[in-house]
Every structure is written in structure tokens, then in C-alpha cells.
């Protein structure tokens, strides 16, 4: 029996036309690498009181060593009695940041990777960046927590004893350069101060406050780090290690400071080219943080799982003489 001929297709042609080869869509199980801003708070602050907080609103009372009075003595005199005391400082855990993520059931079923685990890892890194950015902005703001920095370690007349060290301020920053052509006054780009001289002045500020030489840090922007590598400090002997910083990219230690590069140390509002430089020892700044909540639960408003977390934290400059602040601007390379 012969079958009748089929009716020819009279509809529109497919677009694109079928080529006769089926090409499946393949999802890679490897995620694109994501890079995060480097955080420095863990290296420049102490966390002595971190274990004592449980939730936002907690207050940690910090006690300091009092200053003991030393008096002259003569024979047969009555001894004056002094009672050492010092005011307590309060570390208030008054800040918090959170994330709240939803993974729809349909998306979870279709995914071949553990989305919630990936998101949790990303949230942890993003949380550190967000907290670092906020804390650094506040402690380098002389109208914020930065107001606790001792006057001998900041400004145009820094130096608790000398009073003649120009570290710059946001409105009139210190111009610095690699080689440092000009008069080295630092008031214009043409006669910028050498980077090494600026770092040494910061070290002198701490010396005049009797701050220990060990454990000193300095946080600098990326462009200043690049100029250090192009400056006289490219000599390995000045960097304090056996390998030239020009070859391995490591800043190392300069004049007792361990240098940290941070892209989170941003210029103050209204001064886009004046960058703060923070220096000191970890005893100056205390920081406490806890992830008080990290949980997964079903959403009430959709068919999805929620991943949410809450980090509470607080910080304070507890010793203003142990930390300093400068402001720098790009000078000519020279």
C-alpha cells in the first residue's frame, strides 16, 4: 500500500536554519576567579577584646595602666601619698553589617554546583572589605575617630618635641616623589619631598612619643608603593632584606615600618588627590568583631532557601600617641 505524499510546510523558515548538527550548552563547573581588595585591619589593630562581645549594643570596658608619680626624697621628710587612677575607656559594639541571599528552588535544582557555599565564601570576603573600608575612613578622618590621634603625630607641625615635621593635612598635603627633585620642601610637585624622608619623619614622630620600634606599621596607597619601588629604596640594603624590592615586588620594612598597600585607604571627601597615610603600632587601635548570626532557612515569601549573616563590630583608638596620620600627594618623579 502506498502512503500519500505529505503536505509541504508553508510556515516561515526557522531562524537560524537548522544545520543538521545539535550543539548542547555546557556549563563549566569552575567559576571565574574573583579578586578582592586586600584588607589590612587584622594587621594594624589589636583584637584583645574580641572574645568578650556577644551582640550589637554590647559595651566592653577597657582599663589602662595609670601614670605613677615619682617624687624627690630628702631625709626626715613626710612622704606624699598618691593614688594612681586612670579613666576607663568604653569600646561600644555599635556597628553591624549583614547579607541576606535567596536561592530559588528551581535554580538550585538546575545548578550543578553548591551555590550557597559559593555565596557564603564571597559574602565573607565582601564583609571584610566593607568593614575595612568603613573603619579606615573613620580613623583617618580628623573629625571622626581620627580626632583621637595625638596632635604631635599629625599635621603641618608634627613632632611632640621638635614640632617642625610637616606630614601634610587633607587641605594642604605633602608632595612626595621617588627621587625627589627640587628643594624637598614638599609644598609643590616640583620640589616634592623624597619618599624616604617622609617615612623617616613619620618614624621620628613615634620616636618622640617613646613608642617601641618593634611592630610598627604604615598603610599606603598603591601609587605611593609604586614610587617607593622606583625610588632610592630599590636598593635591597635600604629595604631590610636580601632581595631587591624591584625584583620581587615586596615592600618589606623601611625605617622600622612594615608597609601595607591598601586600595581601601581613600582620599577624604573634597580632596580627591590627597591620600591619607596611617602609621603606628597595633596597641593604638583596638577592633572587635563577631559573626553573631549565620543561618539558612526557608523563605516565607518564595520557594527558596535564604542564607543570611550578621557581623557586629566596634573599634576605637585607645592610645592616640601610638598612631599617626599624614596626607600625601603626587609630586614630580624627579
Cα 122 versus chain centre, distance: 18
Q: Is the pLDDT of residue 91 over 80?
A: no
Give the position of cell 583617618: 140
Residues 6 or more apart whose Cβ sits within 8 Å of residue 4: none
- pLDDT at residue 3 in the model: 52
114 alpha carbon, distance to own chain's centre: 30
Owner of C-alpha cell 609630586: 331
- Grid cell, residue 269, equals 571627601
Banded model confidence at residue 193, pLDDT cuts 50, 70, 90: confident
Q: According to the model, what pLDDT value does residue 288 have?
A: 84
Instruction: Extract the C-alpha cell encoding 271.
Output: 580632596
Q: Which residue has the cell 629604596?
A: 233
The pLDDT tens digits of the residues spanning 176-190 come to: 887 655 566 777 888
- Listed in sequence order, the residues at least 6 apart from 305 whose beta carbon sits closer than 8 Å to its beta carbon are 102, 103, 105, 108, 116, 296, 297, 298, 299
Q: Which three cell numbers stand for residue 21?
A: 548538527
Q: Are 307 and 120 in contact (CB under 8 A)?
A: yes
For residue 194, give the C-alpha cell: 623624597
pLDDT tens per residue, range 118-163: 888 888 888 889 999 999 999 999 999 999 999 999 999 999 999 9
Q: Which of 145, 163, 143, 144 is nearest to 153 (CA)?
A: 163
State residue 162's pLDDT score: 95
Complete domains list, the chain, with CATH: 41-67+78-330 (3.90.1690)
* Averaged pLDDT for residues 41-47: 86
Peptide bond into 211 cis (omega under 30): no
Query: Is the model's pTM score more than 0.85?
Result: no
Q: Give the bridge partners for 60, in sequence order.
A: 91
Amino acid at each position: 500500500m502506498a502512503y500519500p505524499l505529505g503536505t509541504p510546510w508553508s510556515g516561515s523558515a526557522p531562524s537560524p536554519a537548522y544545520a543538521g548538527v545539535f550543539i548542547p550548552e555546557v556549563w563549566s563547573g569552575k567559576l571565574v576567579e574573583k579578586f578582592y581588595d586586600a584588607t589590612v585591619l587584622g594587621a594594624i589593630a589589636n583584637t584583645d577584646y574580641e572574645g568578650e562581645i556577644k551582640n550589637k549594643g554590647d559595651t566592653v570596658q577597657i582599663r589602662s595602666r595609670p601614670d605613677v608619680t615619682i617624687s624627690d626624697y630628702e631625709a626626715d621628710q613626710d612622704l606624699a601619698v598618691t593614688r594612681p587612677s586612670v579613666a576607663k575607656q568604653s569600646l561600644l559594639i555599635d556597628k553591624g553589617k549583614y547579607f541576606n541571599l535567596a536561592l530559588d528552588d528551581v535554580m538550585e535544582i538546575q545548578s550543578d554546583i553548591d551555590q550557597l557555599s559559593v555565596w557564603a565564601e564571597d559574602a565573607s570576603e565582601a564583609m571584610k572589605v566593607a568593614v575595612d573600608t568603613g573603619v579606615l575612613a573613620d580613623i583617618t578622618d580628623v573629625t571622626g575617630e581620627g580626632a583621637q590621634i595625638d596632635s604631635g603625630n599629625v599635621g603641618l607641625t608634627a613632632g611632640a618635641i621638635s614640632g617642625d615635621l610637616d606630614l601634610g593635612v587633607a587641605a594642604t598635603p605633602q608632595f612626595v616623589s621617588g627621587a625627589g627633585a627640587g628643594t624637598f620642601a614638599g609644598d609643590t610637585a616640583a620640589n616634592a619631598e623624597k619618599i624616604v624622608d617622609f617615612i623617616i619623619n613619620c618614624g621620628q614622630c613615634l620616636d618622640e612619643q617613646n613608642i617601641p620600634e618593634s611592630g610598627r606599621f604604615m598603610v599606603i596607597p598603591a601609587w605611593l608603593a609604586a614610587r617607593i619601588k622606583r625610588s632610592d629604596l630599590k636598593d635591597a640594603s635600604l629595604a631590610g632584606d636580601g632581595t631587591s624590592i624591584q625584583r620581587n615586588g615586596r615592600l618589606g620594612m623601611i625605617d622600622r615600618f612594615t608597609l601595607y598597600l591598601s586600595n581601601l585607604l581613600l582620599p577624604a571627601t573634597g580632596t580627591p588627590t590627597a591620600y591619607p597615610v596611617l602609621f603606628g603600632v597595633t596597641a593604638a587601635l583596638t577592633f572587635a568583631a563577631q559573626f553573631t548570626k549565620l543561618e539558612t532557612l526557608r523563605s516565607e515569601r518564595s520557594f527558596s532557601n535564604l542564607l543570611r549573616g550578621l557581623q557586629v563590630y566596634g573599634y576605637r583608638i585607645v592610645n592616640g600617641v601610638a598612631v599617626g596620620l599624614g596626607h600625601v600627594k603626587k609630586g614630580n618623579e624627579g
